[in-house]
Structure 1
Amino acid sequence: MTTAAVRLPAGIAHPFAPAGRVDPYPAYTWLRTHDPVHRDPMTGMWLVTGYADCTALLKDPAFSAAAGQRERAREDDLPVSMLTSDGTDHARLRAPGVRLVGPAATASIAEGLAHDADALLERAGEHGALSDAVDQLGTPLATAVLARLFGLREEQRAPFQQLARAVSVNLDPLAPPPLARLGRAAMGELTRYLDAHVDQALPSPLRDFAADGRLTRQEMLGVLGLAVVGGWQPLAESIGNALYWLLPRPEARAALRTADGEAAGTAMDELLRLEAPIPFTARVTVRDAELPGGRIPAGARVLAVLAAANRDPAVFADPDRPVWDRSPNPHLAFGGGPHFCLAARLVRQSGALLLSRLVRKFPAAALTDAEPRWAATLIPRRLTSLGVDLTGAQRPASRLPGAAAAHA
């Protein structure tokens, strides 16, 4: 049974310390190997890092997502949504959400989104290089996805993107108080914006969702707010994280250029496994709980460390390197259990769409930074910036991600 006496060795940075935030994987590997259900003396939380333990946790009602969100460092309650509910309440809120981001909604925007991706790449090609692929590709792609779902006109995209950027601070459970206050104010502004927009939306998945009738007005707005907070920045950052792994590997770019939609989705799954923007999810135990790796008492704050589970060698062969045709790939980048991300298919297809088009249009695209830097943030997992030379003319000597000591 896990005890509080277990500590990380002196030479390994704690994953929440500044150095550990930049490169948490040595700590994750040590914990997963030596203490997969770990009582962390630094934070007082339990860090669950093994794949078997995380999958069991995500399915076990003893681990409350609603209570986990109430432990966030903020002065107000989060809006009612799937994120802040459990059991039957969660199921009731989740069911209408299929109309907003489920398979039919994803199919309905596919053609328009392909047009958006092509326009993004056409604009990028005019300059020959990107100073930051997240800002110039990932962010507008995320905006385009939500604009298609919400029925936003072209002139509405820029104001909406400003709102989405402002509310994204709510992703960080440990945001400094001044920043957290700005995030709360932005959330109120976004809610008012959506409240005004939902009744005049053009035909779109949003109109189908709003017409469902199973949610109160406030519940509907809470679910829409969650779609923005939980979807916009993670989708944007997933593009930068994916390019970090993809572009230094010519064989991977060549394979993706000829891949069909399903093969491109398989590659996107592998990229998400390696570097998910949401590296963990919070729970609180409502009773004593038994996991394969140990027991956790009632009332404990728990983090399911999805990024650690996604590199568990018991499940993933060669876990720190990309295997582009890995199948099956039961990664936890979208969580698992009842709270599995409702928009997983949408995110997977959107990313695969842009990346496959990018390598076809710019077959020599390369990173301009020899060693891109990871930001010292907890959520989302992201790069400080990611320069891309679309012509490949200024390719630097770089270390392949996944090689020894690749995470600087």
Structure 2
Amino acid sequence: MSTTAVTLPDTLVHPFAPAGRRDPYPAYRWLQTHAPVHHDPFSGMWLVTGHAACSALLRDARFSAALGQRERARDDRLPVSMLTTDPPDHQRLRAPGGLLLGPAALRSITDGLSQDVDAVLDALARRRDEPDAIRDLGTPLATAVFGRLFGLPAHEHPAFTTLARAASVNLDPMTPPALAARGRLAAGALTRYLDAHARGLKARGDTSAPLAALADDDRLERGEMLGILSLAVIGGWQPLAETVGNGLLWLLPHAATVRRQLVEDPEFARSCVDELLRLEAPIPFAARVATEAVDLPGGSVPAGARVLAVIAAANRDPAVFSDPDLLVPDRRPNPHLAFGAGAHFCLAAALVRQVLPTLLARLLARFPELRGPDVPPAWEPTLVPRRLTAYPLRLGPSGPPTGPTTSEGN
């Protein structure tokens, strides 16, 4: 094991530096080849970039997620949730979390999701200005989805969106202090809002939304329940919205060749979504702390090491993925790590795999000439989530509103 500093070639910028964040993949590829497990003096962490090593790390109980979250470059603490705990507390919280995001919860909102997608597309068609994929497609869809999960009436959606957007600042562990302080205030306001809403559901005897089952679960203290809700919003609402823009960036140049399959073949649509997530995961890292010395494929880390599993790099590892920087819509197998792996595998993965194929199929059926901008869009200088500043859409002539059979099987 060597702790010798790794120096990137002069032609490459460190992937965490402001200039490197726009396109970190060349630096990731170099690190995969020359130092797949190494101590990084820039961040003070051990970076793991190979797919095999990241996969092993995420599944290894010797790497603590709880300690990893405490190593954020900020003085705040995230609320108690599945993200901030290790076994056995992790399993104790994750089981009730399934009441919000598990199979039964998703079945209960499936019919409404197609209606929500169509409502978002109707609003898109009515816009007089140039619509944006994140502002006018991803954000309202994410709000509609969480509105279903939480039982929020439509008139509450604007307030929820405002709170969710402000609190999502907490995703980035390197947010500047002033913005981080505002994020903490927003997270508190979001928690109070969700607490009041959950109490309102109970007072009215409304058990129709998955949130009602979670809020009524006596395995959880109130603070733990609210921590799970906050995690669902902060870790799910904005990444879902951003995935729409990130995905369309890759998909639209190929839309002419895959549109029919996306519209008509639900299995192809699901495969395509997994490939889009592989190429541009909105959550590109997972932080851990090694509780003892661990050997990984490609190197070793010492006890107490602050370790970052660089999922964005692992997802383009040429040792696992042929043509790793190209979109292969029907790629199989596709062992990407966009949802993590092991005990902390994203609880919302099934939700994403249900919502996004439905959206893409109905979007391309409704707007068969949909195109993106002529010039490459810019990336936000944030580390988490990985997101575009904007992604303007040109709709072209729209077809008739999509019918309920379009997303059958999604």
Structure 1 match to 2:323: 318
Structure 1 match to 2:236: 231
Given candidates 335, 338, 341, the residue that maps to 1:330 is 335
Structure 1 match to 2:63: 63
Alignment of 1:52-201 (within 5 A): 52-127=52-127, 130-201=130-201
How far apart are 1:128 and its partner, in Å?
Answer: 6.8
Distance 2:221 2:70 in 1: 22
3-state SS, counterpart of residue 224 of structure 1: helix
Q: TM-score, normalised by structure 2?
A: 0.93
Distance 2:86 2:196 in 1: 29
3-state SS, counterpart of residue 39 of structure 1: strand
Deviations 1:376-403 (A, max 9, x none): 210110111000101079xxxxxxxxxx
Q: 1:237 to 1:288 in 2, by over 3 A?
A: same
Structure 1 match to 2:403: none
Deviations 1:62-115 (A, max 9, x none): 211111111112223211101110010111011111110011111211111110
Opposite residue 13 of structure 1, the aligned amino acid is: V
Which is worse superposed, 219-228 or 102-111?
Answer: 102-111
How far apart are 1:31 and its partner, in Å?
Answer: 0.6
Which is worse superposed, 165-174 or 72-81?
Answer: 72-81
Structure 2 match to 1:377: 382
Alignment of 1:239-278 (within 5 A): 239-249=244-254, 250-260=256-266, 262-278=267-283
Q: 1:392 to 1:378 in 2, by over 3 A?
A: farther
Aligned-residue identity in percent = 61
Asked if the contact 1:130/1:136 (under 8 Å) is kept, the reply is no
**Aligned-residue CA RMSD in angstroms?**
1.4
3-state SS, counterpart of residue 118 of structure 2: helix
Asked if the contact 1:134/1:239 (under 8 Å) is kept, the reply is yes
Asked if the contact 1:238/1:276 (under 8 Å) is kept, the reply is yes
Q: TM-score, normalised by structure 1?
A: 0.93
Structure 1 match to 2:391: 386
Deviations 1:137-179 (A, max 9, x none): 0001110111000000111111011110010000000000000
Asked if the contact 1:128/1:389 (under 8 Å) is kept, the reply is no
Structure 1 match to 2:293: 288
3-state SS, counterpart of residue 253 of structure 2: coil
Opposite residue 335 of structure 2, the aligned amino acid is: P
Opposite residue 343 of structure 2, the aligned amino acid is: P
Asked if the contact 1:246/1:253 (under 8 Å) is kept, the reply is no
Distance 2:327 2:305 in 1: 35
Asked if the contact 1:247/1:253 (under 8 Å) is kept, the reply is no
Asked if the contact 1:2/1:37 (under 8 Å) is kept, the reply is no
Opposite residue 336 of structure 2, the aligned amino acid is: H
Which is worse superposed, 147-156 or 126-135?
Answer: 126-135
How far apart are 1:288 and its partner, in Å?
Answer: 1.0
Deviations 1:234-253 (A, max 9, x none): 00000000100111112123
Q: 1:104 to 1:129 in 2, by over 3 A?
A: farther
Distance 1:128 1:345 in 2: 35
Segments of 4+ in structure 1 off by > 6 A? none
How far apart are 1:2 and its partner, in Å?
Answer: 4.0
How far apart are 1:10 and its partner, in Å?
Answer: 1.4
3-state SS, counterpart of residue 376 of structure 1: coil
Distance 1:381 1:150 in 2: 26
**1:9 and 2:9 equivalent?**
yes
How far apart are 1:129 and its partner, in Å?
Answer: 6.2
Opposite residue 139 of structure 2, the aligned amino acid is: T
Distance 1:130 1:240 in 2: 15
Opposite residue 145 of structure 1, the aligned amino acid is: V
Unaligned runs of 5+ in 1: 394-408
Distance 1:129 1:354 in 2: 21
Unaligned runs of 5+ in 2: 399-410
